[in-house]
Structure 1
Amino acid sequence: MKPSASDVPQRLSDFDIELRLLLEAIYLKYQHDFRHYAMSSLRRRLTQALDEFNVETLSQLQDRIMRDGNEFSRLFRYLTVQVSDMFRDPSYFRALREHVLPRLRTYPSIKVWVAGCSTGEELWSLKILFDEEGLTERTLFYATDINPDALARAEAGIYALERIQGFTQNYLAAGGTRSLSDYYHAAYGGARFAGSLKERVVFADHSLSTDEVFLEAHLVSCRNVLIYFDRGLQDRALGLFENALVRRGFLGLGSKESLRFSRHYPAFDEFRAAERIYQKR
């Protein structure tokens, strides 16, 4: 009996076979699980890594990182995406200001989880927003990421001066009530946003692939992270957010992300659908 098309294993390229072996090796050696990240994105980034490491194949790259932890640290930045802006998608932050924060204001204390905080631009945007709405003193922020270098940069809060004009435009479009320059000063050849904003912020290593819920949150903001996961890992992450949120808590996703096709969709209402803000039922 001739097997059906579904019974025949999909033929993989040598590159894809080596990619899967590399991800498995990383998981076994370093306990970082990238096996359920979107393959198309990993292919592109690891192709770039071959040039950086001056090797021809992923097998050669695997040999390097298995023998030298410092080489794995170099590779780590290719496995995680560190692209962000302050007040990215200003309508999202305006919707938080106008529709979500008035509801959070009813709580005596508030916890916010910025999951996949990268180099901190979204965290500081939220801190500024909460400060302008008078909620800083009763809010505790948790900023998490799997990349220790990104966490260190987020905590430092220093960004290139040439990025400030774009940050400022986004801030004003998001409904900023002051001047963005009130929140930073020039230092170390860049603009430093930390200072008083750093208060009531906890930075922590956390993997959406392998770790569990560690807090009860009123707002979870995880934007432009799920697009790098496959469907199974997306559902795992969304399950963490659902479990972390208090009843009627809020979840914010990126402009190209949605709960609609997730198994967790029934647990949420589309609070501000256009801005990808959901409220737990």
Structure 2
Amino acid sequence: MNDGGMDSEKIEDIEIRLLLEALYRRYHYDFRNYAQASIKRRLRQARERQGIKTFSALQDRILHDPAVAARVVRFLTVQVSDFFRDPSYFKAIREKVVPHLKTYPSLKIWIAGCSAGEELHSFAILFREEGLEDRTLFYATDINQEALDAAARGIYPLDRIAAFTENYRLAGGKASLSDYYTTGYGGAVFDKTLRERVVFSDHSLVTDAVFSEMQLISCRNVMIYFDKPLQDRAVGLFRDSLARGGFLGLGSKESLRFSEHAEAFSEFVREEKIYQRRKV
């Protein structure tokens, strides 16, 4: 049968769909409804790194070699973050959200898509400085186990510390960031007590269910990789996981404006993409 001149781009799209289906069926990682442009770019990087010419050949390796599958998943889930990334977001949390959180006798905070733990440590430091640490349980989740392991270690390259320190200052830090780490192991080792009230867990916004009842969920720069139906699923999950009056923080390029669950939230700090779950 003649392919009618089907171009290589269309063939690649078919290969990618089959590869993602294989990854889901074999290992239960579901990237099928991620934004295709981002997925294609990252899969190309993974394919080139493996020295493989086609996505079909990469699919074959993924199905038969779990180590290759794990490396591909790392490419698909890598997120670049910083301590106190977008300092104005954390300053708004400190100045506008924390006063509400102080009215609760106990708190549950979910950092969804925590990657290597930069955002988690930022919140732990902020909550310590605001006197909330002892009543807070943090849930740090990601689908990438290596990222979770890195977050649990709390060690970051020294060449990143200058940027972390400046972000901390701009976010309204009340001490010196150096108070929270020591140098060793070729990096900055953040105080293990910052992680004493943290539960690290493998959790997928794509396939998993409601995650406890939270007073604050921060999920930043994760949904930009999802297509519209998957974004709606994630926001519905956040809605059902938040206590009434709880808060949801998104990334600077994300919004609830077009979500089918938008009516469940009100804008709390519009410019920082911080929303509040409606109380009724």
2:237 aligned counterpart, secondary structure: helix
Q: C-alpha deviations, 1:22-76, integer Å up to 9, x for none? A: 0001111111100001100011111111211111100000001101111111111
List runs of 5+ in structure 2 lacking aligned partners.
1-7
Q: TM-score, normalised by structure 1?
A: 0.95
1:194 is displaced (CA, Å) by 3.8
State whether residues 156 and 194 of structure 1, in contact with CA within 8 Å, keep that contact through their aligned partners in structure 2: no
Check if 1:14 corresponds to 2:42: no
Map of 1:1-281 to 2, 5 A cutoff?
13-281=10-278
1:78 is displaced (CA, Å) by 1.1
State whether residues 155 and 194 of structure 1, in contact with CA within 8 Å, keep that contact through their aligned partners in structure 2: no
Query: What's the counterpart of residue 6 of structure 1?
Result: none
Amino acid at match of 1:158: I
Equivalent-residue separation in structure 2 for 1:144 and 1:137 (angstroms): 20
Mean Cα deviation higher: 11-20 or 223-232: 11-20
Equivalent-residue separation in structure 2 for 1:134 and 1:116 (angstroms): 25
State whether residues 209 and 237 of structure 2, in contact with CA within 8 Å, keep that contact through their aligned partners in structure 1: yes
The number of residue pairs the alignment matches comes to 271
Q: C-alpha deviations, 1:82-140, integer Å up to 9, x for none? A: 21110000000000000000000000000000000000000000000000000000000
Amino acid at match of 1:153: A
State whether residues 145 and 204 of structure 1, in contact with CA within 8 Å, keep that contact through their aligned partners in structure 2: yes
Equivalent-residue separation in structure 2 for 1:116 and 1:226 (angstroms): 10
Q: TM-score, normalised by structure 2?
A: 0.95
- The RMSD of aligned alpha carbons is 1.0
Equivalent-residue separation in structure 1 for 2:275 and 2:259 (angstroms): 13
1:88 aligned counterpart, secondary structure: coil
List runs of 5+ in structure 1 lacking aligned partners.
1-10
Equivalent-residue separation in structure 2 for 1:79 and 1:234 (angstroms): 17
Q: C-alpha deviations, 1:224-248, integer Å up to 9, x for none? A: 0000000111110111100000010
Query: What's the counterpart of residue 4 of structure 2?
Result: none
State whether residues 117 and 123 of structure 1, in contact with CA within 8 Å, keep that contact through their aligned partners in structure 2: yes
Amino acid at match of 1:83: V
Equivalent-residue separation in structure 2 for 1:50 and 1:14 (angstroms): 16
Amino acid at match of 1:79: L
Equivalent-residue separation in structure 2 for 1:126 and 1:36 (angstroms): 30
State whether residues 269 and 279 of structure 1, in contact with CA within 8 Å, keep that contact through their aligned partners in structure 2: yes
Equivalent-residue separation in structure 2 for 1:186 and 1:173 (angstroms): 23
Structure 1 residue ranges, 4+ long, deviating more than 3 angstroms after superposition: none
Equivalent-residue separation in structure 2 for 1:36 and 1:117 (angstroms): 20
Amino acid at match of 1:157: G
Equivalent-residue separation in structure 2 for 1:93 and 1:49 (angstroms): 33
State whether residues 223 and 252 of structure 1, in contact with CA within 8 Å, keep that contact through their aligned partners in structure 2: yes
